[in-house]
């Protein structure tokens, strides 16, 4: 007898957890710069178009699949059609890759929360401190992939893994649900204080001007539109199997589209707030250094681990800004990481019929070990950078493209999914939704995939040696597809959840 499928305590816990997954590093360190680069205030137009025509429709698509077929990604796709199971495993494997490096960034941010309190890096030395003192970076072209252990990265990484393993082992309701109930309100409060505080920094107005000043010409550039769509997919965590998995833990009678709208707008709200906070702080930094905002605007690792420490060094009350900023990265990151891990844990639980704790340990311990082995060494940053770029461009985009084509054009499931969504939902979907999923989404995703491919073939990514890109870039992407096919070929365990969920 298989145990009953786990469930969230209530729809609100589900919504909060879905927001917890969506709000992540992307909102804080990616969106502000994407918007700034893509026309500032004018970027609102491609952004809203991407949100309304692709992000939200795909969110509904994921919810519909997970809730209708009530399973982890592989099980849900398998129940849709036996031959569709590899799509689910492909998503699971993408989550494996992301999990091993997402944990690393959380560990860095945790250390920087600590460093901020005492300005460990020494003012004026932020760049060297990050690469040389903290990461002890070595050049992959010279040393290959190193195994030299860097304790100040490795030790917080162990702590992060222990924490998330603990949360995962407690299960959907007591672990994931409760962690989000605690962390998300905390994150919101910290974030609000951070944004208000940064607005009072001298030079903040300049930063906001730079962020919001509309550059209408950007709208004529297709690359700007592409970046808006690319950002929205990542930001809403669609096509990762996450929303499929989470919505499988919802009660039968649930307003799916209403929930989706709340999640999508909460995520956007966070991004815009982050844009304001980040650019206010960059405005301060520009003023302090006597340059303009364009000279200091950046994103990702450079923003978080070099620009922000500089701001922390220079601002009055900088340590508080640093603790709030890095603390926010940690909390936003943890709630996203547990959603990524849940995709993997749920998939194996379903396929093998194992219990929660056993599956959690069997999934998480190897991931933690791989994450330690690759990323607490001196070549961490090159591996992380490459894996991230390739899994985004050819993992997520590709699986989303194949999924919408298979579901819409081969399996003709959109009418059934529409009907499922409309059964309980406050916001009805219809022909427009089917067109957006079946036609617009494949076109946009296809375009993004092909342009990404051309770009990465034309020029070796990041200037890394080709053997390195071959292994951690192309090799990894191809391996995911092959392993997904292999896993689909394995038989479902006798105690698997495949057949006997009483509510399916």
- Give the residues lining the site for Na ion (CB under 5 A): 22, 26-27, 235, 267
Binding residues with ligand PHE: total (CB under 6 A): 15
Say whether residue 339 binds ligand PHE (CB under 6 A). yes
Say whether residue 66 binds ligand PHE (CB under 6 A). no
Shortest distance, position 102 Cβ to ligand PHE, whole Å: 7
CA 437 from centroid of its chain's CA atoms: 21
Return the residue nearest Na ion (CB atom).
235
The option from Na ion, ligand PHE, none interacting with 284 (CB < 5 to 8 A, set by class) reads none
Among 27, 359, 364, 382, binds ligand PHE (CB under 6 A): 27
Residues 238-267 that bind ligand PHE (CB under 6 A): 240, 242
Q: Taking contact as CB under 6 A, which single stretch among the options 33-41, 250-258, 335-343, 401-409 is the one that binds ligand PHE?
A: 335-343
Q: Taking contact as CB under 6 A, which single stretch among the options 20-28, 111-119, 173-181, 397-405 is the one that binds ligand PHE?
A: 20-28
Q: Assess contact for 314 and 2: CB atoms under 8 A.
A: no
Write down the residue that tokens 């070990």 correspond to.
Answer: 369
The option from Na ion, ligand PHE, none interacting with 257 (CB < 5 to 8 A, set by class) reads none
Cα–Cα distance measured from residue 170 to residue 176, given in angstroms and rounded to the nearest whole number: 8
In Å, what is the CA distance from 50 to each residue of 58, 71, 227, 236? Answer: 11, 28, 9, 11
Write down the residue that tokens 């603390």 correspond to.
Answer: 327
What's the number of CA atoms in the CB half-sphere (13 Å) around residue 231? 31
Cα–Cα distance measured from residue 452 to residue 76, given in angstroms and rounded to the nearest whole number: 29
∠ CA(284), CA(288), CA(292), 5° rounding?
70
**H or E stretch including 499?**
none
Among 98, 264, 387, 476, binds ligand PHE (CB under 6 A): 98
The option from Na ion, ligand PHE, none interacting with 299 (CB < 5 to 8 A, set by class) reads none
The option from Na ion, ligand PHE, none interacting with 98 (CB < 5 to 8 A, set by class) reads ligand PHE
The option from ligand PHE, Na ion, none interacting with 398 (CB < 5 to 8 A, set by class) reads none
Shortest distance, position 223 Cβ to ligand PHE, whole Å: 20
Cα–Cα distance measured from residue 275 to residue 262, given in angstroms and rounded to the nearest whole number: 20
The dihedral formed by the CA atoms of 121, 125, 131 and 134, expressed in degrees to the nearest 10 = -20
Q: Taking contact as CB under 6 A, which single stretch among the options 206-214, 234-242, 251-259, 412-420 is the one that binds ligand PHE?
A: 234-242
**H or E stretch including 408?**
none
Say whether residue 227 binds ligand PHE (CB under 6 A). no
Say whether residue 301 binds ligand PHE (CB under 6 A). no
Shortest distance, position 272 Cβ to ligand PHE, whole Å: 13
Cα–Cα distance measured from residue 207 to residue 293, given in angstroms and rounded to the nearest whole number: 6
Shortest distance, position 392 Cβ to Na ion, whole Å: 13
The option from ligand PHE, Na ion, none interacting with 198 (CB < 5 to 8 A, set by class) reads none
DSSP, collapsed to helix, strand or coil, labels residue 169 as: helix
CA 306 from centroid of its chain's CA atoms: 21
Among 18, 22, 96, 348, binds ligand PHE (CB under 6 A): 22
Q: Assess contact for 349 and 357: CB atoms under 8 A.
A: no
The option from Na ion, ligand PHE, none interacting with 333 (CB < 5 to 8 A, set by class) reads none
Write down the residue that tokens 């031959």 correspond to.
Answer: 83
Say whether residue 24 binds ligand PHE (CB under 6 A). yes
In Å, what is the CA distance from 157 to each residue of 107, 133, 220, 344, 472? Answer: 5, 17, 44, 20, 21
Binding site for ligand PHE (CB under 6 A): 21-22, 24-27, 98, 234-235, 237, 240, 242, 336, 339-340
């Amino acid at each position: 007898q298989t145990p009953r499928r786990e469930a969230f305590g209530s729809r609100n816990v589900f919504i909060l957890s879905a927001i917890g997954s969506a709000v992540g590093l992307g909102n804080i360190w990616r969106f502000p710069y994407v918007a700034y680069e893509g026309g500032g205030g004018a970027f609102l137009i491609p952004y809203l178009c991407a949100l309304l025509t692709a992000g939200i429709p795909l969110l509904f698509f994921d919810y519909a699949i997970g809730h209708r077929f009530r399973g982890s990604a592989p099980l849900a796709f398998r129940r849709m059609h036996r031959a569709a199971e590899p799509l689910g495993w492909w998503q699971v494997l993408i989550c494996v890759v992301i999990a091993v490096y997402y944990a690393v960034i959380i560990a860095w941010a945790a250390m920087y929360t600590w460093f901020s309190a005492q300005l460990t890096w020494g003012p004026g030395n932020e760049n060297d401190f990050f690469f040389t003192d903290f990461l002890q970076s070595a050049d992959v072209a010279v040393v290959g992939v190193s195994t030299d252990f860097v304790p100040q990265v490795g030790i917080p990484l162990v702590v992060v893994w222990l924490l998330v393993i603990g949360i995962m082992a407690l299960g959907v309701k007591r672990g994931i649900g409760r962690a989000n109930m605690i962390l998300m309100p905390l994150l919101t409060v910290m974030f609000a204080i951070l944004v208000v505080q940064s607005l009072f920094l001298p030079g903040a107005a300049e930063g906001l001007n730079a962020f919001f000043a509309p550059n209408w010409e950007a709208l004529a550039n297709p690359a700007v539109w592409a970046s808006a769509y690319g950002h929205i997919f990542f930001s809403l965590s669609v096509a990762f199997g996450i929303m499929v998995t989470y919505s499988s833990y919802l009660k039968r009678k649930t307003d799916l589209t209403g929930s989706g709208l709340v999640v999508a707008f909460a995520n956007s709200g966070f991004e815009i707030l982050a844009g304001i906070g980040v650019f206010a702080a960059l405005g301060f930094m520009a003023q302090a250094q006597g340059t303009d905002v364009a000279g200091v605007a950046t994103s990702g690792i450079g923003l978080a681990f070099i620009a922000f420490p500089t701001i922390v060094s220079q601002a009055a009350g900088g340590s508080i800004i640093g603790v709030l900023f890095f603390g926010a990265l940690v909390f936003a990151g943890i709630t996203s990481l547990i959603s990524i891990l849940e995709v993997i844990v749920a998939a194996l639980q379903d396929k093998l019929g194992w219990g929660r704790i056993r599956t959690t340990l069997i999934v998480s311990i190897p991931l933690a070990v791989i994450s330690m082995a690759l990323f607490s060494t001196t070549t961490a940053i090159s591996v992380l950078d490459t894996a991230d770029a390739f899994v985004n461009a050819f993992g997520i985009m590709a699986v989303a493209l194949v999924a919408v084509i298979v579901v819409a054009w081969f399996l003709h499931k959109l009418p059934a999914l529409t009907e499922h969504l409309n059964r309980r939902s406050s916001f009805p979907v219809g022909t427009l939704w089917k067109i957006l999923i079946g036609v617009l989404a494949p076109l946009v995703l296809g375009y993004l995939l092909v342009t990404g491919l051309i770009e990465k073939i034309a020029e070796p990514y990041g200037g890394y040696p080709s053997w390195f890109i071959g292994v951690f870039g192309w090799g990894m992407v191809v391996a995911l597809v092959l392993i997904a096919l292999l896993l689909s070929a394995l038989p479902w365990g006798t105690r698997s959840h495949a057949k006997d969920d009483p509510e399916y």
